[in-house]
Structure 1
Amino acid sequence: MTRLPGRLTRQVPTAVRTLVVLTLILGGLYPLAVTGVAQAFFHDRASGSIVRENGKNVGSALIGQLFTDRNGNPVRKYFQSRPSAAGDGYDPLSTSARNLGPEDVVDSPGRPSLLTQVCARSKAVGELEGVSGARPYCTTDGVGAVLKVFPAVGPVARAVSVNQPCPVRPFLSIYQGVKVECASPDGDYATGRTVPVRGDVRAVVPPDAVAASGSGLDPHISVAYAELQAPRVARERGLAPAAVEALIREHTMGRALGFMGEPAVNVLELNLALDRALGKER
């Protein structure tokens, strides 16, 4: 029978005792201490900042949610949240980044580019709020205003509006003296030079109405987006616009530490306040 060296024999009990002690401290006492401190001093946040209304859990103050009907259409009497790219919307288990950036401007089969997603959202918000949904680098039909020009280097001989499949009329008739074509559904335009066209428009719809947050869980919207929605909400609820504006101000959070970020409005809390205000009037 092989015997362990004397030094190793002495080290094994020490290692076992160390494992047990560290397990008790780091796996038991430390988590209990942290949980105890969190519950004692930060109970609301530690418990998920659950918002209750009439004895029921209606959401979290830290995680956004959709205010849409079963078909995904906005419920017009509620303020709408910003877009979410987390799963089907505000899914805490699907918050991984999509890694789409400013260069993602050309649509591909089955997947609109980030630019087209922004354009489509801006158009939809504009229609909902009764304002212009026009945006730089967007066409009037809500896709990215992007050309592919050929050859990639040198004078332009051909120009294609790649995000507007035929028979749609291209957003631009002529580019550098060349007639702009609509895109053939089976066309290959990879070798062309990508040219986003800005257009001479000013965006009315705020950025947070068309772009998802990094986490996809942001429960807040900008004051500008809340004010854009205020006339619709007041009209749908039969409330005075001034009353809705007052509720927005009441539920506007200031900058973190007084200087970080921008003022923001918690959508869930604002909508609950609207429900309570309407109940009082009735």
Structure 2
Amino acid sequence: MRTPGWISQHMAALRALLVFTVLVGIAYPLVITGVAQIPGLRDKANGSLVEVNGQPVGSSLVGQAFTDADGNPVKKYFQSRPSASGYRLDATSASNLGPESVQDTLGDPALADSPDGDGSKQALLTQVCARSKAVGELEGVDGRRPYCTDDGIGAVLRVFYRDGMSGKVTRAVSVNQPCPATPFIATYEGVAVECGKFGEDYGGGVLVPVRGDAPAESAVPADAVTASASGIDPHISLAYAKLQAKRVAAARDIPVSEVEKLIDEHTTGRALGFMGEPGVNVLELNLALDRR
């Protein structure tokens, strides 16, 4: 008796499913796992774990924060770059904010004491300004940046013109400084600048960032104020590491030259010799300081 065609087709499909399940779902992973355990590859395949006294303290491929229980930087340690995920391995992410993110979302004053927050949200510009100010204070340098107020907020106005996009200025609002704050600039083209008010629609105004008198090149490097795409970058720039050397040396009561020597020893070169910039692995550098 001849087997019906539709049964033959289903049997062929089932055999193919079983064969490829064994090859791709079992054999291939076992082979790759075996290859990964070859000496020279085993460490990277197992996560490039870093151990102290036989206990894992991190990975050379994953960054982590060196802060106290309140989130304040521990002065004897080099600090990693900011992280949009808070260095949570289960939530690696970027902020997805770009250069045009300059206006904050003001919070509702009525929710100031709410455990869920007041609904405010900082734009990328204000995040950068606040971080630069904090790093400058921590390291004892000028943390001011262009388009930032002295108190670490994006220096941005919503300017209203008589003819919509041009003409005489009729109103100017410092949209990132909620009332009753005093605006960072008193007047703009002869018009008094107002503080921002929650709930008001400023969409009819033109966004105008104000340059200010900060130096064009800040003493605080860019990677000290911006998060990486993954949120868990283990490296910082050589410039950011050297900025922190004086503070770390003072906290540990050792010569700055000794700290700078350790920085050089833990600086990796460009990928393939030409891609990217040299970087300093923060975890390995801090462990080297502890071993000292």
Q: Do both share a fold (TM > 0.5)?
A: yes
In 2: Cα distance, 1:24 partner to 1:200 partner: 67
Q: Which runs of 5+ in 2 are unaligned?
A: 108-119
Q: State the Cα deviation string for residues 202-254 of structure 1 (Å, max 9, x = none).
A: 21100100000000010000000000000000000001000000000000000
Give the letter for the 1:275 counterpart.
Answer: D
Distance in 2, matches of 1:198 and 1:36, equals 58
> Once the 2 structures are TM-superposed, how far is the Cα of residue 54 of structure 1 from its aligned partner?
1.5
- After TM superposition, the structure 1 = structure 2 runs for residues 94-243 of structure 1, keeping only pairs within 5 Å, are 94-108=91-105, 109=107, 110-151=120-161, 152-154=164-166, 155-202=168-215, 203-243=218-258
Gaps of 5+ in 1: 278-282
Q: How many residues align?
A: 273
| 1:199 Cα offset (Å) | 2.2
Partner AA of 2:15 in structure 1: R
The TM-score with structure 1 as length reference comes to 0.93
Partner residue, 2:262: 247
1:9-33 deviation per Cα after TM superposition (whole angstroms, max 9, x unaligned)? 2222222211111000000011111
**Alpha-carbon distance in 2 for matches of 1:28, 1:59:** 30
What is the Cα deviation at residue 123 of structure 1?
0.6
1:256-267 alignment runs, 5 A limit:
256-267=271-282
Q: CA deviation at 1:177?
A: 2.3
Query: Structure 2: which amino acid aligns with 1:117?
Result: Q
Residue 243 of structure 2 aligns to a residue whose secondary structure is: helix
Shift of 1:4: 10
Cα distance in structure 2, aligned partners of 1:229 and 1:211: 16
Deviation at 1:200, TM superposition (A): 3.2
1:64-75 correspondence runs (5 A): 64-75=63-74
CA RMSD in angstroms comes to 1.6
Secondary structure of 1:93's counterpart equals helix
Q: Whole-Å Cα distance in 1 between the matches of residues 7 and 262 of structure 2?
A: 72
Q: Distance in 2 between matches of 1:186 and 1:15?
A: 62
94-103 or 63-72: bigger deviation = 94-103
How far apart, CA to CA, are the structure 2 residues paired with 1:140 and 1:4? Answer: 87
- Compared CA separation, residues 76 and 257, structure 1 to 2 (3 A): same
Alignment of 1:15-30 (within 5 A): 15-30=13-28
Q: Could you tell me which amino acid in structure 2 is paired with residue 159 of structure 1?
A: A
**Once the 2 structures are TM-superposed, how far is the Cα of residue 182 of structure 1 from its aligned partner?**
1.8
Equivalent-residue separation in structure 2 for 1:205 and 1:15 (angstroms): 62
TM-aligned CA deviation for residue 5 of structure 1 = 6.9
Deviates more, 1:170-179 or 1:120-129: 170-179
Per mean C-alpha deviation after superposition, the further-off stretch among 146-155 and 6-15 is 6-15
The 8 Å contact of residues 134 and 143 in structure 2, kept in 1 or not, is answered as yes
| d(CA) in 2 for partners of 1:133, 1:31 | 50
Q: Using the alignment, how far apart are the partners of 1:243 and 1:4 within structure 2? A: 85
**Whole-angstrom CA distance in 1 between matches of 2:16 and 2:178:** 68
Q: Secondary structure of 2:89's match? A: coil
User: 2-side partners of 1:33 and 1:18: how far apart?
Assistant: 21
Shift of 1:37: 1.4
Using the alignment, how far apart are the partners of 1:4 and 1:199 within structure 2?
A: 88
